[in-house]
Amino acid sequence: MSTSSTFPSDFLWGGAIAANQIEGGYKEGGKGLSIQDVMPQGITTPRTEGPTDDNLKQVAIDFYHRYAEDIALFAEMGFKTFRFSIAWSRIFPLGDEAEPNEEGLAFYDRVLDECEKHGIEPLVTISHYETPLHLTETYDGWVNRDLIGFYERYARALFARYGARVKYWLTFNEINSVLHAPLLSGGINTPKDQLTKTDLYQAVHNELVASALATKAARELAPNAQVGCMILAMPVYPLSPDPDDVMASLTTERTNLAFGDIHVRGEYPGYYLRSLRDQGVDLVVTDEDRAVLKENTVDFVSFSYYVSVAETADESKRVMGEGNLFPGVRNPTLKASEWGWQIDPVGLRIVLNQFWDRWQKPLFIVENGLGAKDELVEVDGRKTVIDDYRIAYFNDHLVQVGEAITDGVDVMGYTSWGCIDLVSASTAQMSKRYGFIYVDRNDDGSGTLDRYKKKSFDWYAGVIRSNGASLTR
């Protein structure tokens, strides 16, 4: 049956993408190279020396030239908000210049023009897995404290240019993922297996300080804006009621929760400091760093949610499954997607309640979706995809968002991941499709780049139009 809407009237429905996964135009408009230009297979293989022709992200889905057409399609679905990222190397091609690149700034002015034309509220990610390659190769990315200043200069340039036009900002995409994907998330050139724990956690610290400084800069330059952190949420369930399993699940989950604790409370929690001591990590943390973290906490917490995992203290029972960028113990009660990600709608309600109870900050679900293989078919003379599996996934997750709102959780909005098909972050495939809009491009780079509305396009439009009342239990 349909549900009467529990969603607030100002709920921000929309979709989300990242620049490196949709824009293309990798050498146009004065853009410099980013880490994505040497990651043709995502995180599945080591980086290449330089750009290679097999990298789908060089063209991606050509949003750089087709943004007006795509935003018009989002408007047709009724989007209230559109989450996109700004490519750092479009604004500062090397990352360490003194002045920004005007061509890059002007491109995002045009994107914002289209959003405003259609009444869509932009939600902008400042850094989404696209560190300028020069910063990676010259400074070893976020391991080097110099990146704090380069990032702050970049953020200030964005707030100065777009501060009056953009209300909602996110500092770093899935900031906790640096622990598992140091090149992708932290622009760290040192191979993961050679990276010391101290260097890795110093990179984490440097990003956290930079995030706080960006929040401070936004309050100076864009006083009406709100700044949020963005966390990869992945609830961790004990595999059994054994207290050792419960403790193991808490310990694993805290590795992610710490990033929210620090952004919201402005200081390192005791359990995190113990973990650093236990690992022999010795961080350089100044008194100024502590003050910056404490005085510049976030306005809201945003997160991605795709999958939950289990945890056990019993090594003999550690049967691993796939997760979002990093794996976890497989939950025997859950089914999985074609890429092995376990599907757990109730986990989204659990995360929303956990985060709200813990932080008492408004929450924004800025990524959620199903990566699946789609088949383009013709129905009544129109090419489309009959993606009932995607509709079921979204329906079941959104029903749980409604339950969380009824629980009393303050949820600002929901942006589905990959609202238009894009190049996957982890595997760099086109065949792992998330969108309501099919893009005719294949893993070998062939295709017309034409856009086609899937069945889920009209379904999501109906959900937005009814403010969630059309969802079925």
Cα 9 from chain centroid (whole Å)? 25
Which residues, 6+ apart, have CB-to-CB distance to 458 below 8 Å?
Answer: none
Torsion of CA 19, 22, 26, 32, to 10 degrees: 10
**CA pair distance 395, 398, nearest whole angstrom:** 5
Whether 367 is catalytic: yes
Residues in the chain: 473
Which residues, 6+ apart, have CB-to-CB distance to 257 below 8 Å?
Answer: 358
User: CA distances (Å), 126 to each of 87, 311, 351, in order?
Assistant: 8, 33, 24
Please report where in the chains the tokens 């990590």 appear, as a residue: 281
Complete edge-to-edge strand list for the sheet that includes strand 320-321: 236-238, 309-311, 328-329, 320-321
User: CA distances (Å), 281 to each of 153, 187, 230, 258, in order?
Assistant: 29, 20, 25, 16
* Eight-class DSSP state of 372: B
Cβ(43)–Cβ(426) under 8 Å?
Answer: yes
Q: Which of 130, 174, 367, 403 is catalytic?
A: 367
Q: What residues act catalytically?
A: 367
